[in-house]
Amino acid sequence: MAIRWTDDLSVKNEMLDAEHQKWILILNDFYQGLMDKKPKEKLLELVIAMLDYTKYHFASEEKYMKSINYPKLAEHQEKHRFYEAKISEYHERIKEGKMVLSLEVTNFLKTWLINHIRGVDQQYAAFSAK
């Protein structure tokens, strides 16, 4: 099921909200590719796009957190590294033919992202609003 942007996902920062929305579009494209039974190569391109965008967004978000002297930055970065590692692992396993793309993978990626935005990202949003 596709992810829809809702106000409860907003971190009250236009740039980061726009990045989260773009990320959701990439994930939704990936999900749609699975539903449409796109060729493996096309899905692999989407995994690469997701990995690239994840790294881009995390760097942007971490730069913002540094700029506001966010006290839980290191803890937040650990969560980012975990997600990056997971996508990298999926990418390698798919590329090597050791893993089939599935709804299980997609659901993990979507659930992690939504829970991350609604959970830990909201913490830096609340901190910056002080």
Mean pLDDT per 10-residue segment, the chain (130 residues): 90 96 91 83 84 95 97 96 92 79 79 93 92
Question: Is-contact 51 73, C-beta < 8 A?
Answer: no
Assign domain 7-129 one CATH number from 1.20.120.50, 1.20.1740.10, 1.10.10.10, 1.10.3720.10. Answer: 1.20.120.50
| Three-state SS at 6 | coil
pTM: 0.89
Please give the Cα distance from 106 to 109 (Å, whole number). 5
Torsion angle defined by CA atoms of residues 49, 54, 55 and 58, in that order, rounded to the nearest 10 degrees: 160
Q: Which two tokens stand for residue 57?
A: 């967004």
